[in-house]
Each structure stands twice: as C-alpha cells, then as structure tokens.
Amino acid sequence: MQLRNKQDFWSGVMFALIGLGFAFGATQYSMGTAARMGPGYFPFWLGICLAVLGAVVALGALSPKATATTVDRFDFKILFIIIGSVVLFGLLLRPLGLYLSIFLLVVGSSIASFEFSWRVAVVNAIFLVVFCWLAFVKGLGLIFPLWPTFLGMN
C-alpha cells in the first residue's frame, strides 16, 4: 500500500483520534440505554461515528484510485491570527460589547485568508452580528453586554 493522498490520510487520522478521544472521555459518564440515554451515551456514539468516518477517509487515501496530493508546510502565522482573534474577542466582550467584539473577531480572523477582501469580511461580520443578535439575544434570551460600556446603552 502506498500513501497517495497525504491530505486525506492525515485528516482521517486526526478525525479518528479526536473521535476516539471523545468516546473514551464519554466513558467517564453514565451510558444508559438507547431507550433511557445517560449523559455519556450521545458523546460516546458520536465519537465512535467520527472515528469510523476518519478511518474510512484515511483508508481511502491509501487506495490506488486516490488523487495524489501532498501536505503543504504548516503556516503558523494563520494559526496565530485566528487564535489571536478569538482571544481578543474574549478579552473585548465585556468592555466593547457583543456587536463590536463579533465584528472585530470576524474581520480579524478573515485577514488569515489567502483570498482576503475587506468588503466580504465586513459583509460577513455584519451578517454574523445580526445572526448572533437573533439567535442568542432574541431567540435564547441570553444576557450579554451589547454595546461598549462607556456608551451606557446596555
């Protein structure tokens, strides 16, 4: 067997390991039965399904019919931009409020894309702000600071 599609192979291995990790972690909770599910039942079977899916993808990469690909060098700059945007969101949520924090998160993490466009990033940010307002504030009734604290509009 020759590894033809390295991208699919390593993605499959990652999914299989994450799935097995979740399934193993779920064994710490009561399982129950299919009729009376315990708190560990759903995460266990979801982890098993993810592990099986990962194994199928990884084994498919070994097939002679698989498209030959390689894995490019990992770009840590993109990783730091995305993680930095999420950390910045967490730090700015209280002082700037939900709307500005989400806007900055989306625009900041969009910079990591090779196909970055200011117009697309701003439209995505506005859409996500409206979606979060509808889903979390109106739909679920969660309480977040919506505007910056120094404006006194909360």
The amino acid at residue 150 is F
The pLDDT value recorded for residue 36 is 85
What backbone torsions phi and psi does residue 53 show, to the nearest 5 degrees? -60, -45
The pLDDT value recorded for residue 109 is 93
111-119 long-range contacts (CB < 8 A, ≥24 apart) are: 111/81, 112/77, 112/78, 112/81, 112/82, 112/85
What's the CA gap between 142 and 6, in Å, rounded? 43
The pLDDT value recorded for residue 92 is 92
What's the CA gap between 71 and 57, in Å, rounded? 15
Q: Which residues of the chain have pLDDT under 70?
A: 1, 71, 153-154
The pLDDT value recorded for residue 1 is 63
